[in-house]
Amino acid sequence: MTLELTLADPEIVRIAQSLVERPGSAAPHDPAARAAAVALVLRAVPMQGLDLLFIRRAEYAEDPWSGQVAFPGGRHEAGDESLQGTAVRETWEETGIDLAADGAILGPLDDVRPNTKALPRVVVRPFVAAISADVAMTGSGEVAEAFWVPLDALREESGWGETEVTAGGMARRVQAFQHGEHVVWGMTERIVRQLLARLDG
């Protein structure tokens, strides 16, 4: 499926129109917080609907989000022209998907930040993007695995609930989405809810 056909998918059209009419809100400026960006990469699979790309971060002791399910993305660097550029660069580095050449950025969702002081002060801007279904991915040392989740699965209430996770050596109960062995929680869970609200609201 070509990018043009993906962009013509009714749900892609709906989310794109929503982001044009009501772009995501930027968080209040915090000079002590690092800026970051992630990409919510959607693909339209013929006869199946839309899939959303997730990654599981590689295990690194110094990474506060080590081993967690996330979206491709990372911190804004001096060479990035914008936060959108950050999302494009990080997606390329982590998955081999070139959103600038093979995809389209539809727009930003609302900024998010950690809900706990135990994590670094960072403000994350999520960008919704679309690619054709035949775009290939490549491996990265920063990513343990990359996987697609159907939007229909994310819409199933049975996948959502409260669960226990361990982060930073501490166990706590959080709101999460469970897909097989993968648990989506924290900022990633809140970003997914934003996307679904745009699609289904």
* Number of Cβ atoms within 10 Å of the Cβ of 37: 28
8-state DSSP, 112: B
Could you report how far apart the first and last alpha carbons of the chain are, in Å? 27
68 vs 70 pLDDT, higher one? 70
In 3D, which of 65, 90, 64 has the Cα closest to residue 77?
Answer: 90
Query: Please, what are the domains in the chain?
Result: 3-200 (3.90.79.10)
Q: Mean pLDDT lowest for which of 12-26, 60-74, 88-102, 116-130?
A: 60-74
Task: Indicate if the pLDDT at residue 126 is higher than 70.
Answer: yes
Q: According to the model, what pLDDT value does residue 100 have? A: 95
Q: d(Cα 9, Cα 53) in Å, to the nearest integer?
A: 17
In 3D, which of 5, 199, 23 has the Cα closest to residue 125?
Answer: 23
- This prediction has a pTM of 0.93
| pLDDT, tens digit (0-9, with 9 covering 90-100), for 132-159 | 999 999 888 888 899 999 999 999 998 9
Q: According to the model, what pLDDT value does residue 174 have? A: 80
Average model confidence (pLDDT) across the chain: 90
Banded pLDDT at 191 (limits 50, 70, 90)? very high
Q: How far is CA 113 from the centre of its chain?
A: 13
Q: According to the model, what pLDDT value does residue 175 have? A: 87
Banded pLDDT at 115 (limits 50, 70, 90)? confident
Percent over 70 (pLDDT), the chain: 92
Q: According to the model, what pLDDT value does residue 26 have? A: 94
Q: d(Cα 157, Cα 30) in Å, to the nearest integer?
A: 35
8-state DSSP, 178: E
Percent over 90 (pLDDT), the chain: 64
Q: d(Cα 166, Cα 187) in Å, to the nearest integer?
A: 15
* Number of Cβ atoms within 10 Å of the Cβ of 98: 14
Task: Indicate if the pLDDT at residue 61 is higher than 70.
Answer: no
Banded pLDDT at 200 (limits 50, 70, 90)? confident
